[in-house]
Structure 1
Amino acid sequence: MEHITLLIGLVIATALVFDFTNGFHDTANAMATTISTGALGPRIAVGMSAVLNLVGAFLSVEVAKTISGGIVDESAGIRPAMIFAALVGAIVWNLVTWLAGLPSSSSHALFGGLIGATLVSVGAHGVNGDAVVTKVIIPAVAAPIVAGLASMLATRLTYRLGRNADPAATSRGYRAGQIASAGLVSLAHGTNDAQKTMGVITLALIAGGVIAPGSNPPLWVICSAGTAIALGTYIGGWRIIRTVGRGITDIQPQQGFAAQTGAAATILASSHLGFALSTTQVCSGSVLGAGLGRTGAVVRWGTAGRMVAAWALTLPAAGLVAGGAAYLADRGTWGVTTVGVIGLAVCVAVRAASRRKPVTRANVNDPVDVVTVQVTPSVEAADEVAPAIAPVTPPPAAAAPSAPTRTPTTA
């Protein structure tokens, strides 16, 4: 520790800030469906997720090694100032998408920041292209599809198995299952996402000559990264929780259980293999699959389309911001200071903007404003097209489905 310079200390602090934003940005991964179905109260849910994120951070270091020695070449002249620029790019993108309520990938924001800063500061030879393709891009495309298909099939199976069961008992049982599966997702999130910050800090320590190349994250790095992501999780990213829990589809307990179980299995398997995938994309894909798996469910493709657009933009956008920051940081002390000031100004501006229309645990389950809605064909879906405008009273069992009775209420 005595060899850590002021710049490396700044990088470590910035990495932990990113880890904190990752926590509140990605809380929705584990808890959005649990909160939206009422299986757990909002504050209890995020508290449980925070504890399990912390525990998960200690279970593996495979993803951390992918970050510190896989995506970029630690022997190619990586400098602490470059890593600082990469983190600023990732934090800026995280905050902007959080403000918009879009569950974009904190992981890909970090990857994009590292790649963009390395390209500007070191050159193309500093980026391990093969590792980027095999460890980042392929999992980014495959993981949400796999999780979505698994969730869709699991949802259909649960409804088929429970079609003759008592609805109230079934709902209670699946709510209990949701709590268990949400805990598993939180644990998986800690094993994957907390390690990314460990990898960045380890890379900074290697670049600064504090530890030897190829070293595993020191224990104090594991503890600090796990604590930062747990604190961020406990704060609760209510904007994104509302989007995932209410904006993609209307989740019932059976769907929530299927979605979370499929997501947890995908994340844990990827962590074991060292794939630094996006838990956000996996969980959002699972929720979408759960919507497709229930007959008559509303699937809001407008929201899903905006999410996919954010996913596609994350790597290049964070890379561009980080590249610009790296260009300034390479100019010397004044450049690093300028990058820090700009990053802090963005944080303050986003915080001020978020206070105009706050989303808290009190209104996290309010309907999401939807502009474009596409639904699966069914009477039930037709009744749910515009819940924010005119909540619907379903027709009596004997009534013809073509003439539902609508009771106007104030949204």
Structure 2
Amino acid sequence: MLTSTLVIVAIVIITALAFDFTNGFHDSANAMATSVATGALKPRVAVALAAVLNVAGAFMSTEVAKTISSGIVDDTLITPIMVFAGLTGAILWNLLTWLLGMPSSSSHALFGGLIGAVLVSAGVAGVHFGVIISKILLPALAAPLVAGIAAAIATRLAYRITPDAEGKSSGIFRHGQTISASMVALAHGTSDGQKTMGVITLVLVAGGFQASGTAPQLWVILCAGLAIGLGTYSGGWRIMRTLGKGLVDIKAPQGFAAETSTTAAILASSHLGFGLSTTHVASGAIMGSGVGRNAAEVRWGVAGRMAITWLVTLPAAAAVGAVAAAITLLGPIGVGIVLALLVVGVVAVLVVANRHKVTADNVHETHEVPVTSSTSAPTPTHA
């Protein structure tokens, strides 16, 4: 029995680290999209810097990890199989939104997947709805708005105080972006880097390998930090195109204002243990910077589609997590079926994405993200 439990726990931990990898490339744009768009950082340098700082940030706090491991669900009713089903929903939603270039919340995908799986397997008693409302849903509404307002004010001040903000002074803002983007990446590590730590800790508790209510172990922190760092370094160029060009044709003063506002919001929420979506915050700040410069330059159609994606992320991931959990109730055969479906889903998304690649070389040639038709400019040829 112990051997079979250990095998299941190991499979779920590997799946959790796979989710962490998708979190990294899905959210790398949060920190670096604006700096790449303004030319403050070269694409490859940007993601390498973000990767290192994501890993460093993962060691700075564990409050968000505790919220996940023993906050949103009752860890005394959770089994590793439930967590596996929840991760399936989160990974598939992350990949689908990445394919579409939509900056959706990896955090909400994770929360939704877990909630759906637990509701099917353990019932309503397994979910702490009060914590979900106070530490997930309310921050999801408030944080993007606060970051957007702060970025709009900061952008307006930047242009008022510095009349030639896009002229001679633009170099100063671009240099400032190197620092502000780095701070976003570090803050991202303190927030999203912890979420997989919380999931793995939840699995260890459920499997009887760790006491309930205890903090993540050092090896868990290290593995989660490295996984999100490697994912970040892979680029996530499809979403970076949307955030860097799709919402606003961003300039250096706007980028600096957006990144600074994003950092402040993320660090504050991480300290309070909020399961905040860094994607929501970064996107809100970028839109705010566009409003601060000239509201007419914001592509509100893209913003509207993004908002719809945000609204459906948690319930959509919950639905997939619930279906996966229902299948796992069949026993080992059910677990095998879910694992096979997860692999098929991942391969299918990668095959479609490979038809119309977005890379470091063409990430900002257009604001469109091609999926089924070749709508973007051709990728440049390099000798």
Deviation at 1:103, TM superposition (A): 0.3
Query: For residues 167 and 284 of structure 1, do their structure 2 counterparts lie closer, same or farther at Cα, with a shift above 3 Å needed?
Result: closer
Query: For residues 330 and 35 of structure 1, do their structure 2 counterparts lie closer, same or farther at Cα, with a shift above 3 Å needed?
Result: same
Structure 1: how far apart are the matches of 2:92 and 2:150?
33
Aligned match of 1:92: 92
Aligned match of 1:327: 326
Aligned match of 1:122: 122
Q: Does structure 1 retain, via aligned residues, the 8 Å contact 2:121–2:326?
A: yes
SS at match of 1:169: coil
Query: For residues 301 and 166 of structure 1, do their structure 2 counterparts lie closer, same or farther at Cα, with a shift above 3 Å needed?
Result: closer
When the two structures are aligned, how many residues end up with a matched partner?
Answer: 370
Structure 2: how far apart are the matches of 1:238 and 1:369?
12
Question: Does 2:377 match 1:352?
Answer: no
Which gives a bigger RCO, structure 1 or 2 (Cα 8 Å, sep 6+)? 2
Deviation at 1:369, TM superposition (A): 3.3
Structure 2: how far apart are the matches of 1:51 and 1:125?
40
Q: Which amino acid aligns with 1:321?
A: V
Structure 2: how far apart are the matches of 1:120 and 1:166?
55
Q: Does structure 1 retain, via aligned residues, the 8 Å contact 2:159–2:165?
A: no
Aligned match of 1:205: 204
In the TM superposition, what are the counterparts of 1:69-80 in structure 2 within 5 Å? Answer: 69-75=70-76, 77-80=77-80
In the TM superposition, what are the counterparts of 1:4-403 in structure 2 within 5 Å? Answer: 5-75=6-76, 77-163=77-163, 165=164, 167-295=166-294, 298-369=297-368
Deviation at 1:322, TM superposition (A): 0.3
Q: Which amino acid aligns with 2:359?
A: T
Unaligned runs of 5+ residues in structure 2 are: 370-375, 378-383
User: 1:134-157 CA deviation, whole Å, 9 max, x = no partner?
Assistant: 000000010000000000000000
Structure 2: how far apart are the matches of 1:114 and 1:167?
46
Structure 2: how far apart are the matches of 1:231 and 1:254?
29
Q: Does structure 2 retain, via aligned residues, the 8 Å contact 1:151–1:293?
A: yes
Query: For residues 212 and 37 of structure 1, do their structure 2 counterparts lie closer, same or farther at Cα, with a shift above 3 Å needed?
Result: same
Unaligned runs of 5+ residues in structure 1 are: 371-387, 390-411
Structure 2: how far apart are the matches of 1:314 and 1:296?
27
SS at match of 1:367: coil
Structure 1: how far apart are the matches of 2:165 and 2:27?
35
Structure 1: how far apart are the matches of 2:294 and 2:337?
54
Deviation at 1:295, TM superposition (A): 3.0
Structure 1: how far apart are the matches of 2:294 and 2:19?
40
Q: Does structure 2 retain, via aligned residues, the 8 Å contact 1:50–1:229?
A: yes
Q: Does structure 2 retain, via aligned residues, the 8 Å contact 1:249–1:297?
A: no
Deviation at 1:168, TM superposition (A): 3.5
Q: Does structure 1 retain, via aligned residues, the 8 Å contact 2:241–2:368?
A: no
Deviation at 1:298, TM superposition (A): 1.1
User: 1:221-256 CA deviation, whole Å, 9 max, x = no partner?
Assistant: 000000000000000000000000000011000000
Q: Does structure 1 retain, via aligned residues, the 8 Å contact 2:166–2:253?
A: no
Deviation at 1:367, TM superposition (A): 1.4
Deviation at 1:34, TM superposition (A): 0.3
**Percent identity among equivalent residues?**
57
User: 1:338-393 CA deviation, whole Å, 9 max, x = no partner?
Assistant: 000000000000000001110000100111239xxxxxxxxxxxxxxxxx99xxxx
Structure 2: how far apart are the matches of 1:133 and 1:331?
32
More helix, by proportion? 2
Q: Does structure 2 retain, via aligned residues, the 8 Å contact 1:116–1:318?
A: yes
Deviation at 1:188, TM superposition (A): 0.4
State the TM-score, normalizing by the size of structure 2: 0.94
Aligned match of 2:381: none
Q: Does structure 2 retain, via aligned residues, the 8 Å contact 1:82–1:330?
A: no
Deviation at 1:330, TM superposition (A): 1.7
State the TM-score, normalizing by the size of structure 1: 0.88
Structure 1: how far apart are the matches of 2:142 and 2:165?
37
Larger radius of gyration: 1
